[in-house]
Structure 1
Amino acid sequence: MCGIVGCILKNDEDVAPILFNCISKLEYRGYDSIGFATYSENRIHIKKDKGKIEEVENKLNLSNMPGKLGIAHVRWATHGDPSKLNSHPHVDERKELAIVHNGIIENYLEIKEELIKEGHVFKSDTDTEVIPHLIEKFMNEGFDLEHALRETIDVIHGAYSIAAISTKEPNKIVATRKDSPLIVGIGENGYYLASDSPAILKYARDIIYPEKGEIVILDENGVVVHDEFDNIVNKEIESINWTPEMAEKEGYDHFMIKEINEQASAVKNTLTQKEHIQEIIDDIEGNIQRICFVACGTSYHASLTGKYLIESLAGIPTDVILASEFKYSANTLNDKTLVIFISQSGETADSLKALDIANQTSKTLGIVNVVGSSITRRAQYVIQTQAGPEIGVAATKTYLAQLTAIYLFSALLAKNEELVNELDKVPDFIDETLENIDFIKGISKRYNYARDFFYLGRGFSYPTALEGALKLKEITYIHGEGYAAGELKHGPLALIDEGIPVVVIVPPGDSYRKTMSNLEEVKSRGANVLAIGSADDDALKEQADDVITINPEIDELIAPLIYVVPLQLIAYFITLEKGHDPDKPKNLAKCVTVE
C-alpha cells in the first residue's frame, strides 16, 4: 500500500532531488503523508509531514536536503491516523538510524510492550516504529546493520519491505522484504531501491528482484545480496522495456484519461502473447478438469468474464473466488485443477497467500502486468499482459489487457479460431468508441446529481455492469451497484424510484430481448435510463433517456472488451464535475500489499 524508495549515488551530488522524482512516481501507492531521510556529515536529516507530495514539498522543500544517499516514503495509513508523527521515516532513540517500511507488522503490540519494558520510548501510533527500536537494540548488542536487520525480521511477523540507514555505517543502505514488493535498480550514476519500477525508470532499467528474507546492501560500489545463511546470492539482472515516458502524463490532465486512451494499444500488445498462451495450453491440455480464477476488485470482474467464456466455449467447470476468501475453498483443489491468478501488480497480498496454497496441489497460472513481480516468480505458468505501467489507482487499461489475455486463453483452449480472429478487430473498435468522448462527457454531466447508480447486464455483460459500478464508486464516491438484470425482481427493483440513474448494457445477442424487458421495468418505475447499445438499435433509442452507441458489429460475446470503455469515461467525467482527483481516490491505493 505504501511506497518506498532508496538511492545511493556514485558521485557527491545531493540525492534529494532524485528521491523526490522517484517517490513522486509512487504517489499512487499512498498519499496520506511523505517523508525523506538523507545522510551527510555523520548525521541523518529528516523531513516529513502529512499531506500529498506537492503540499509537503511546498511546505518543507524536501528536494533540498544534503547527502548522497537517502530513503523516502509515501504512506497509506493502516496503523495510526495520517499525521506528521505517524509518517515515515521512523527513527531510533538517538536518531542514529532511520527506516522506511511498506507492509504490516502483525505482532507489533507484543514487541512494543516488551521494548517499552526495556526502556524504549515510542512517539507514533504505527506498527512500523517497532522496527528501528529492534534494530537499535540488536546493534547495541554488537550486531552490524545488516545482521541487526536480520535479527529483527526473525522477530517480526507480517508483510514488509524495509530499507534502513545508520550513522554507525555511513554510505550504505540495507533492505529486505517479505510479501511486500521491493526491486533493486542498477543505474549509471547510482543504485536504487523501490516498491515499483515506475519510480526508477528514469535512472535505472536493469533490475534485480530480491526474494523473501534476502538482505540487500547498497553502497557506492554496487549491490550485494545475501541469503539467510550470509551467502552471496548471484542475482539475475533483468531489463525493463517500459520507457520513462510511459509513466508520465504526456499532456493529459490525469493518468486515468491517458490510460483509457491507451487501451487499444494495451489490447493490441497483449494479443502478441498468442503463441506463448498456446504453448501453455499445449502443456496442460488433457490434464485439467476444472479451472478456478482467484482475484480481487477489477481483476475479479475480469475473472467472471473468464468463467462465462471458458464454460460456454470449452465446457470446463470454472469457479471464481475472491483471493481473501480462497482458503475456505482450498480443500476442493487437486492435480486436475488449474488455478488462474489475475493481478495487475503481481504483488496483491491475498492473491500471494492463495497462490502458495494452490501450488501445493494444483497447476497455477498468473496473468500479471508487472514484469518480475512475486506472482510471476511463484506461479508455474505466466501470461504477461502488455499494458505498460498503470499509474491511476482505478484500473482501466490493465483491465482490458487482462480481459484480452483471458479471451485469448479461452478461445485457444476451445480451439475457437473465429473468436481468435475477431479479437484482432478489438483495438479498432476501442478507438472508434473513444471518438465519442465529447458526447459521453456531455451525457455524464447530466448525471452528476445522483446519490445512487444502478448498472444492469446479462450474461457476458453482467461482469461489465459490476466493473462500471466499481469505477463509479472508486473515484466519484457515488454509491453504485451492478446487478445481473434477471435479479431485478428478486429484491433490487424495490430500490428503483423516480430519477434514479440506471445504466443498462444492451449489446446485440441472445440476451438482448430479456435485457430490454428489464430496461422497461426500471423505466416504468421512474428511473433515468442511460443505455449502451448498438448504433442501429432504434428500439433502444426510443426506450432509453440517453444512449451511448457502439459499432453494431460488436455482439455480446466480445462486448466486454468495448462496452466497458464508456463506463470508465462516465465515472471519469462525473468525478471531474464533482471536483475530485480521479488518479488519487480517497482511502484507496494502487497495490494492496497487506491483507
Structure 2
Amino acid sequence: DSSVDIISLKDILKKSQDHCYTKCRQNDLNLEDYYLGGEKQIDALFQKVRNLKCNDLFYNLFIKQESQVEIVKFSHRLSEFVDSESKLLTDHMGHLESDDVEILSRRIDKIKDIAWCLTSEIADNIEKVKYLILHEHETFNIYVVNIFKQINAVLNSIDRLEVRGRDSAGISMMFVLDSFEFDRFEETIKRENLYDRLKERSDHDILINLGISVNESEDENGHKLIVIAITYKAVAEVGSLGDNVHFLREQIKNDKILHKLVSFCPKCHTISAHTRWASVGAISEPNCHPVDNTTTGSGVPKSGIIHACLNGDIDNYMELKKKYEKHGCFIPQDVTTDTKIIPLQIEKYINQGFEVQEAFRLAVNDFKGSHAISVHTTLAPGKIFLAQKGSGQAIFIGIAKDHYMPSSEVYGLIEETPFFIKMDGEKEVEGKDGMTQGQIFVLDQCSAGGIDGIKATYYDNTPIVLGKNDIKYTEITSRDIDRQDFPHYFLKEISESPHSVEKTLQNRWRIKKDKIGQYVITLDNKTFPKTLQKALLNKKIRRIFFVGQGTAGVAAHTCADILNYYMDDPSFYISAIKASELSGFKLNDDDDKKMMEDSLVIAISQSGTTTDTNRTVDMVKERGAYTMAIVNRRDSDITFKVDGVMYTSSGRDIEMSVASTKAFYSQIVAGALLGLK
C-alpha cells in the first residue's frame, strides 16, 4: 500500500499517551508490559515511520502537501509528549527501581528517534529533494523523485562523512538508457540548444567537475544500451563543514542536461561519491575522487567508462604506473593521486578478455597496502564493485528495502537503514590455495535485494556464503551524530558534555528508602557481575589496572587515582598503563597462564574497537585476569570480550570531533562510580 496512513500513526500515539508514566502508576500497571503501550507497539510505530522512506510512500508524501503538513504536526505532538515523559523520569530519578529506569529511558529514546525520523529524515529531505528538482520539472513522476531522493541521500551521507576529511568531494552518476530512449534524449537536448554543451562537457582528458561521458554497452540478451556518466566535483583546501556538499547541490540543481536525462526514466542507475583528505597527490579537481580510466596516448584501447574511489593507499602505485605507461598510454600530469591506477588496472584485465568482476578481482590483487575501493562502470550497468583489505579502512553495506547504501562508516548509512553487513578484509582465512586476505562484494541493482543481490568472494576468489546472521543492526540514528546548529562538532560536543555526564550517572544511583536522603551506587549484574563482587570480597583480586589508548589512556590514569583515593588501602595495587605498553612490554609468550588471576583489568575505550586495547584484553584474559570495560558504543567488539561492561552516556553518544571531550568526562565519571561501588 503506497498511501500514507496518518490515522494509524495517530492511533498508536493515542495508545502510548494512554499509557504514560503517570497513568501507569495511577492504574498500578506493570511498566514492562504497559508503559507507552509496550515495546512491540513502539517498534510498530517506528517501523511504520521508517517505511515512509521507501520509494512509493516517500513519493506519495512528496506530491501531497497536506500529508507533509500532517507529518510535521504529528512529529511535534510526539516531541511534546516525549519531553514531558523525560521530565517525569528526571523528577523520579533515584526513587525508581533500576529495571524501571531502564524501561522508561529506552522507550523515551525510541520515541525521540521516531520524532527525529519524521522531521529530519523525511520532512526535511522532502524539502531538499524539492530544492534539487523544483525549478526544472513541472510534473513529478515517481522515477524523477526517487532518483533525486537517492542523490540527496548520498549527498547527506557525504556531508556526515566529511568530518573525516573535507578538502574535496565528488559524486558520479551512471544512467542506463535503451537506444530508443537515448535517441529521444538527444533530440530533446538538440531542440533545447543543449547539444553543444553536452559535446563540450564530454570532451575531456581529465575527469573534472561537470564532466560527462557517453558509452555504448549491452544487456545480458545483447540488446544495445547507452550509459551516460555525469560527475560533479568540489575542491577547497580551506573551508567549513558543509561547503563542499552545498556546492555539489547547486551544481546538480542547475544542471539542465541531468534534469532532461532523468526525465527519460533510465533502466537503472548507480551513484558513487567520496569525500577526501588528500594523502597522495595535490588537492585539485583532477585528483578529487572519483577518477576514471581516461589517459593520453593511444597505446591501450579504451574499455568503457570506469570510475573509482579509494580510502587508504596503493603503496606500489609508482611501480604499476611505470608498467602501464610502457605500453604508450600516459596518465595526465595533473593527475597525481594513486587512485588513478585502479580503473587502469581493471581496464588492463578487461582488454585481456576477462569479465568485469574477474578483472576487478585481479586488479585489486595487484595493489599493495591497506585499502577500501569502490568502482562502478558502464561495462556492468547497475552494479557497484567493492573491495577491502587490511586495517584502517572499512566498508559497511547498508541494506535498505529499495537499495544498497555502502559507506566507509556506519553513520554514513543510518539515515537510510539500520541494517548493514560489514566487510572484513583484515582477517586471514583458509582459501583455495592457502591463506588469503581481503574481501570483494558486488552489489547488483537488478536483483531481489538483501543478501541475494550481493556476490561475495575473498581476493583469491574463494566464495563467501552470506547468511542472515551476517546482517547487523545498529541502534545509532542520524540524531546521534547531527551537528545541529553548531559550526563545529568540537563546540557541539563540549556543549553536550554535561548531558553526557548526566546520562552516565543515570540509573547508577538511588536514594535508600529506609534511610532518608542516603544515596547508594547501584550497578546491575551486567555492569558489575557477581563473580567480580565475590572475587573482591574474598580478596582474590589484589591488583587493579586501568588501561586505554590516547585520551582513554589519560582517563585511565584519572580513574586509577580516584580509586586509590576512595579505597585508601595499601594492600591493593592500583595502577594505570597504556594498553599497548601492558601487552607489549609487561606480558610475554612464556608467561604462566595464572600470572594475572589476582588482577582486574578495566579497559577504557570510546569506540570499543581500539585494536591495542582489545588485544590487551585478550592477552590478560589468557593469563587469568578478570576484565571490565568502560565503553561508549553498545555491542562493540570489546563488550563481547569482558566480564562486565559500564556504558558511558546512553551507549550511543557518538563523538565526531577528533578531540575527545564529552566521552573523556564520562569515562572519568564512570570510573568514579566503579570506585564508589
Query: TM-score normalised to the size of structure 2?
Result: 0.51
Which residue of 444, 447, 452 corresponds with 1:219?
444
Question: Which of 547, 554, 565 is the equivalent residue of 1:293?
Answer: 547
| Distance in 2 separating the partners of 1:140 and 1:283 | 67
Say whether residues 1:389 and 2:654 are aligned partners. Answer: yes
C-alpha deviation, 1:31, in angstroms: 0.9
Aligned pairs for 1:398-413 (under 5 A) are 398-408=663-673, 410-411=674-675
**Cα deviation, residue 39, structure 1:** 1.0
2:366 corresponds to 1:155:
yes
1:388–1:379 distance in 2 versus 1, CA, 3 Å: same
Q: 1:249 to 1:147 in 2, by over 3 A?
A: same
Are 1:121 and 2:351 matched, yes or no? no
Cα distance in 1, alignment partners of residues 670 and 444 from structure 2? 41
2:313 corresponds to which residue?
104
| 2:477 matches 1:243 | yes
Q: Deviations over 1:20-39 (max 9, x none)?
A: 11110112111111111111
Name the structure 2 match of 1:302.
555
1:79 aligns with 2:280: yes
Matches within 5 A, 1:250-265: 250-265=484-499
1:6-21 mapped onto 2 (5 Å cutoff): 12=143, 13-14=146-147, 15-21=150-156
- 1:217 counterpart SS class: strand
Structure 2: 5+ residue stretches without partners: 1-53, 57-141, 177-226, 263-267, 295-301, 426-437, 509-522
Does structure 2 conserve the Cα–Cα contact (< 8 Å) formed by 1:310 and 1:318?
no
Please state whether the residue corresponding to 1:25 is helix, strand or coil.
helix
3-state SS, counterpart of residue 202 of structure 1: coil
1:90 to 271, 288, 291: 291
Tell me, yes or no, if the aligned pair for 1:145 and 1:174 is still in contact at 8 Å: no
Aligned equivalent of 2:465 = 232
SS in 2 for 1:27: helix
User: Residue 398 of structure 1: CA displacement?
Assistant: 2.1
Q: Is 1:40 the counterpart of 2:175 in the alignment?
A: yes
- Structure 2: how far apart are the matches of 1:71 and 1:338? 47
Q: Which amino acid aligns with 2:456?
A: H
The answer to whether the Cα contact below 8 Å between 1:86 and 1:126 also exists between their aligned partners in 2 is yes
Partner SS state of residue 90, structure 1 = coil
Q: What residue is the counterpart of 1:426 in the other structure?
A: none
Is 1:138 aligned with 2:273? no
Measured against aligned partners, the alpha-carbon deviations of 1:214-241 in whole angstroms (never above 9, x if no partner) come to 3333233324252421132214333322
Amino acid at match of 1:266: S
d(CA) in 1 for partners of 2:339 and 2:531? 44
Residues 528 and 644 in structure 2, CA contact (< 8 A), matched pair in contact too: no
Residue pairs, 1:168-247, within 5 angstroms = 168-177=379-388, 178-179=390-391, 180-212=393-425, 213-220=438-445, 221-222=448-449, 223=451, 224=454, 226-228=456-458, 229-234=462-467, 235-247=469-481
Aligned to 1:344: 606
Give distance in 1, aligned partners of 2:559 and 2:606.
Answer: 16
Report deviation, 1:199: 2.2
DSSP-derived class of the 2:379 partner = coil
Provide the C-alpha distance between the structure 2 equivalents of 1:290 and 1:317, rounded to a whole number of angstroms. Answer: 5
Residues of 2 paired with 1:126 and 1:108: CA distance?
9
Work out which structure has the larger RCO, using CA pairs closer than 8 Å and 6 or more positions apart in sequence. 1
Tell me the distance in 2 between the aligned counterparts of 1:402 and 1:201.
Answer: 26
The whole-number CA distance in structure 1 between the counterparts of 2:316 and 2:583 is 22
What is aligned with 1:3? Answer: none
**Following TM superposition, by how much is the alpha carbon of 1:160 offset from its aligned partner in structure 2, in angstroms?**
2.2
Superposed counterparts of 1:448-459, under 5 Å: none
Within 1, Cα distance between the matches of 2:314 and 2:480?
34
Percent identity (aligned): 25
Deviation at 1:76, TM superposition (A): 1.4
On the 8 A contact 1:50/1:83 being kept in 2, the answer is: yes
Q: 1 CA distance for matches of 2:379 and 2:274?
A: 22
Task: Specify the code of the residue in structure 2 equivalent to 1:174.
Answer: F
CA contact (8 A) 1:246 1:388 kept: yes
The CA deviation string for residues 140-170 of structure 1, in whole angstroms up to 9 with x for no partner, is: 3444444444334433233222221111111
Aligned positions of 1:328-343 closer than 5 A: 329=585, 332=588, 336=596, 342-343=604-605
In structure 2, the CA distance between the partners of 1:19 and 1:388, relative to structure 1 (3 Å rule), is: same
Residue 528 (structure 2) aligned to one of 278, 288, 308: 278
Distance 1:244 1:209 in 2: 19
Question: Which runs of no fewer than 5 residues in structure 1 stay unpaired?
Answer: 1-7, 412-418, 421-595
What is the one-letter code of the residue matched to 1:302?
A
Residue 361 of structure 1 deviates from its aligned partner by 6.8
* TM-score, structure 1 normalization: 0.57
Is the CA contact (8 Å cut-off) linking 1:266 and 1:387 kept in structure 2? no
Contact 1:9 1:190 in 2 (8 A): no
Task: Give the superposed CA RMSD.
Answer: 3.9
Indicate how the Cα distance of structure 1 residues 133 and 339 shifts in structure 2: closer, same or farther if over 3 A, else same.
farther
Distance in 1 (CA, whole Å) between partners of 2:470 and 2:646 is 20
- Distance in 2, Cα, partners of 1:405 & 1:398: 10
Cα deviation for residue 71 of structure 1 reads: 1.3
CA 1:287–1:388: 2 relative to 1, 3 Å: same
Partner amino acid, structure 2, of 1:305? T
SS of the counterpart of 2:286? coil
**Which amino acid in 2 is paired with 1:352?**
T
Paired with 1:306 and 1:27, the residues of 2 have a C-alpha distance of 33
Q: Displacement, 1:289?
A: 5.4
Query: In the alignment, does 2:532 pair up with 1:321?
Result: no
3-state SS of the aligned residue for 2:470? coil
Alignment-mate amino acid for residue 273 of structure 2: A
Instruction: Name the aligned partner's letter for residue 121 of structure 1.
Output: F
Provide the rounded CA distance (Å) in 2 between the counterparts of 1:405 and 1:143: 57
**In the aligned structure 2, how far is the partner of 1:236 from the partner of 1:244?**
23
Q: Residue 285 of structure 2: SS of its match in structure 1? A: coil
Q: Which residue identity does 1:173 align to in structure 2?
A: I
2:169/2:245 contact within 8 Å kept: no
Give the whole-Å Cα distance in 2 for the aligned partners of 1:242 and 1:43.
36
Contact 1:265 1:387 (8 Å CA) reproduced: no
On the 8 A contact 2:166/2:244 being kept in 1, the answer is no
Q: CA deviation at 1:359?
A: 4.1
Q: Structure 1 353/121 Cα, relative in aligned 2: closer, same or farther at 3 Å?
A: farther
> Equivalents in 1 of 2:330, 2:583: separation in Å?
39
Task: Give secondary structure in 2 for the equivalent of 1:156.
Answer: coil
Give per-residue Cα distances to partners, 1:344-368, cap 9 Å, x unaligned.
Answer: 3456xxx426745874675587654
1:207 and 1:239 in contact (8 A); partners too: yes
- List per-residue Cα deviations over 1:92-151 (Å, max 9, x = no partner): 245621122222333433333333345553343223333333333333344444444433
Q: Flag the 1:25–1:108 CA change in 2: closer, same or farther, 3 A.
A: same
Name which one, 1 or 2, has greater alpha-carbon Rg: 2
> Is the helix fraction higher in 1 or 2?
2
Do structure 1's residue 27 and structure 2's residue 170 form an aligned pair? Answer: no
Aligned pairs for 1:509-524 (under 5 A) are none
